[in-house]
A = this chain, B = another copy of it.
Amino acid sequence: MGNWFFESHKGFKYGYKINKVLYDKKSKFQRVRIAQTESHGRIMILDDIVMLTERFEFIYHEMMAHIPLFIHPGAENVLIIGGGDGGTLREVLKHRSVENVDMVEIDEKVLESSRIYLQSISSQFHNKRANIIVGDGIEFVKNKKEVYDIIMLDSSDPVGPAEGLFTAEFFCNCYRILKKDGIFIGQSESPFYLKEYFKNFYKRLKRIFPLTRPALTCIPDYPLSFWSFLYASKKYDPVKHFVKKRYRESRIKTQYYNEDIHLATFSMPNFAKDLLK
């Protein structure tokens, strides 16, 4: 890795000064690395893409977990597809209503590396309410019944092991195993980077769920920083059904998310609106 790791894209790249490589193994699916950087704490790299940095991971994980959990009036049973670092799980378990979280991660090396080297992120792996399954999310949703209040798709980019997670069939199964007022949320790439995926993901969800809305935020760890989530629901509108005081009353501690950010994130700039027309 030399002294610098570069995440390379067509025409641009991001460099991190590496003080030490802590973990470097090839799994069945990908190369998994954890490195200590000078400026961003420890970072996880899958193949040659930065999945998270300790410095900024809170933004992504808080948005993924708290947006649906502060909409749903009392989610008990949550499914996380992917999310093997544990950041989304950590945020979900801040909600006392949640009785069980199934987390289905395909790559045990992701779990292992995070368990050993990213302990502030994987801190809830041993929580009694967490049920960690090493397996394929696509197969998992095929064989389930209607049991979940919320499904979170916390996957890597739709190339490599995560490819099948962005198909109509997968979304249909998610719809089927969600309860009558269930909510789906997924990371959906960016209106600038892999924007065709963002667009297609939106269109597919829209065909399946009665309500689909994009959310946009700034995640400095990801290429070109603008990053999207897609929220889809059988019942609850993420803006109309949002009760602002619930966040404060919950006393849940967050660094990024709050009641104002929840609402702001559903405001789309014109270029993103145009893309989804």
13 A-B residue pairings within 8 Å (CB atoms): A12-B14, A12-B39, A59-B269, A220-B224, A220-B225, A255-B270, A255-B271, A256-B270, A260-B267, A261-B267, A261-B268, A263-B264, A263-B267
Give the chain B neighbours of A16 by CB distance below 8 A.
11-12
A129 at the interface (CB under 8 A from B): no
When chains A and B are docked, how far (Å) is the Cα of A250 from the Cα of B192?
Answer: 28
A17 at the interface (CB under 8 A from B): yes
When chains A and B are docked, how far (Å) is the Cα of A16 from the Cα of B14?
Answer: 9
Task: For the A-B complex with A11-B16, A258-B273 known, give 15 more contacts whose Cβ atoms are closer than 8 Å.
Answer: A10-B39, A11-B17, A12-B15, A13-B15, A14-B15, A217-B218, A220-B225, A220-B226, A254-B270, A256-B270, A256-B271, A257-B269, A258-B269, A263-B264, A264-B265
Q: Which of B39, B257, B265 contacts A11 (CB 8 A)?
A: B39
Q: Which of B9, B40, B224, B256 contacts A269 (CB 8 A)?
A: B256
Best-buried of A6, A10, A224, A271 by chain B (most CB within 10 Å):
A224
Count the copies: 2
When chains A and B are docked, how far (Å) is the Cα of A59 from the Cα of B271?
Answer: 10
State whether A12 touches B17 (Cβ < 8 A). Answer: yes
A88 at the interface (CB under 8 A from B): no
A48 at the interface (CB under 8 A from B): no
When chains A and B are docked, how far (Å) is the Cα of A10 from the Cα of B16?
Answer: 9
Min distance, Cβ A237 to any Cβ of chain B, angstroms: 15
Q: Which chain B residue lies CB-closest to A219?
A: B225
A155 at the interface (CB under 8 A from B): no
State whether A9 touches B271 (Cβ < 8 A). Answer: no
Min distance, Cβ A30 to any Cβ of chain B, angstroms: 23
Give the chain B neighbours of A39 by CB distance below 8 A.
9-12
A38 at the interface (CB under 8 A from B): yes
Q: Mark A34-60, 1 if CB is under 8 A from B, else 0.
A: 000111100000000000000000010
Min distance, Cβ A41 to any Cβ of chain B, angstroms: 10
State whether B12 touches A6 (Cβ < 8 A). Answer: no
When chains A and B are docked, how far (Å) is the Cα of A39 from the Cα of B14?
Answer: 13
Q: Which chain B residue lies CB-closest to A16?
A: B12
- In the A-B complex, list the 10 residue pairs whose CB atoms are closest, starting with the nearest: A11-B39, A218-B218, A11-B38, A264-B264, A260-B267, A225-B225, A264-B267, A13-B15, A256-B269, A220-B225
Best-buried of A9, A265, A267, A269 by chain B (most CB within 10 Å):
A269
